[in-house]
């Protein structure tokens, strides 16, 4: 597979890449209480500072860790927003040059090295960065894992009650798991027009997987996922809606033009 094909596949399958750490965490016991390790690169850079940030934010927000997680979510998503915009731009550019990439694959089908060289030239010509879709993933993954360890290692978070749930335990009423599945579905639904036809099945499969895993995750982690989904839904509305409107207008104009042509033909 060429670098361009790999990048486009990664951008289309980013949810599966993000699902990898969730599957890893799903195998961990949520009842195990950990101690936050602040030593080493991981503990000193991610877990310890994240736990301290949640403590500080909770103290500033009426001692509510559920609100602290909301603020952390917004901060993380705002940090990666420029990367998300860059990913969106690169994705649109990648889609625009797909016919040319197809021609290159057909022309140099028996010469992979030449195909790769010509593909990179095409990327440089159109200013496409085929790896831009990786960066938001690289930030989201450690946040999810560090948040999980912070929840179990910080008794203030683990034993805190927010609304009807204890943040260190799964939601006993499954409400949060259902919300996670619904928001995941809505998030994907907003981007349905950008998805290829053979990826439409993800609209059902991915929310179901999220629902099943959320039944066993600590409520704090699922809460972060719900908050993140809601942020993405709002973000997608402003990023993708203009292009969707443009496509809708183009479709209406095209259909109207066809009807007018048909009408003239009938009159004749």
CA distance 194 to 243: 10
CA distance 74 to 76: 6
Strands (E), 123-221: 161-162, 165-166
Query: And the tokens for 120?
Result: 């990179």
Indicate the Cα dihedral angle 162, 163, 167, 172, nearest 10°.
Answer: 160
The pLDDT assigned to 65 comes to 94
CA distance 185 to 123: 33
Nearest to 178 by CA among 213, 127, 130, 137: 213
Indicate yes or no: pTM above 0.85: no
pLDDT in tens, 235-262: 888 876 655 554 544 444 444 554 444 5
Q: Which of 18-22, 72-76, 116-120 has the lowest mean pLDDT?
A: 18-22
The domain segmentation of the chain, as residue ranges, is 3-267
């Amino acid at each position: 597979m060429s670098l361009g094909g790999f990048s486009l596949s990664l951008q289309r399958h980013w949810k599966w890449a993000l699902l990898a750490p969730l599957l890893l965490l799903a195998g961990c016991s949520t009842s195990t209480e950990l101690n936050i390790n602040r030593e080493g690169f991981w503990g000193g850079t991610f877990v310890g500072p994240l736990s301290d940030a949640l403590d500080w934010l909770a103290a500033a927000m009426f001692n509510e860790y559920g609100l602290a997680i909301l603020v952390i979510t917004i901060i993380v998503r705002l940090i990666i927003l420029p990367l998300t915009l860059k990913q969106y731009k690169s994705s649109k550019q990648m889609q625009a040059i797909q016919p040319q990439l197809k021609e290159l694959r057909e022309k140099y089908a028996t010469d992979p090295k030449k195909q790769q060289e010509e593909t990179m030239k095409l990327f440089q010509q159109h200013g496409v960065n085929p790896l831009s879709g990786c960066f938001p993933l690289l930030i989201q993954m450690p946040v999810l894992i560090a948040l999980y360890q912070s929840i179990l290692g910080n008794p203030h978070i683990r034993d805190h009650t927010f609304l009807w749930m204890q943040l260190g335990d799964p939601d006993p009423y499954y409400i949060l798991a259902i919300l996670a599945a619904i928001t995941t579905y809505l998030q994907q639904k907003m981007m349905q027009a950008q998805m290829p036809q053979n990826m439409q099945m993800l609209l059902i499969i991915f929310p179901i997987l999220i629902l099943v895993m959320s039944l066993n995750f600590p409520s704090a982690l699922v809460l972060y996922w719900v908050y993140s989904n809601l942020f993405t839904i709002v973000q997608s509305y402003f990023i993708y809606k203009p292009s969707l409107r443009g496509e809708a207008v183009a479709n209406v104009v095209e259909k109207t033009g066809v009807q007018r042509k048909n009408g003239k033909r009938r009159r004749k």
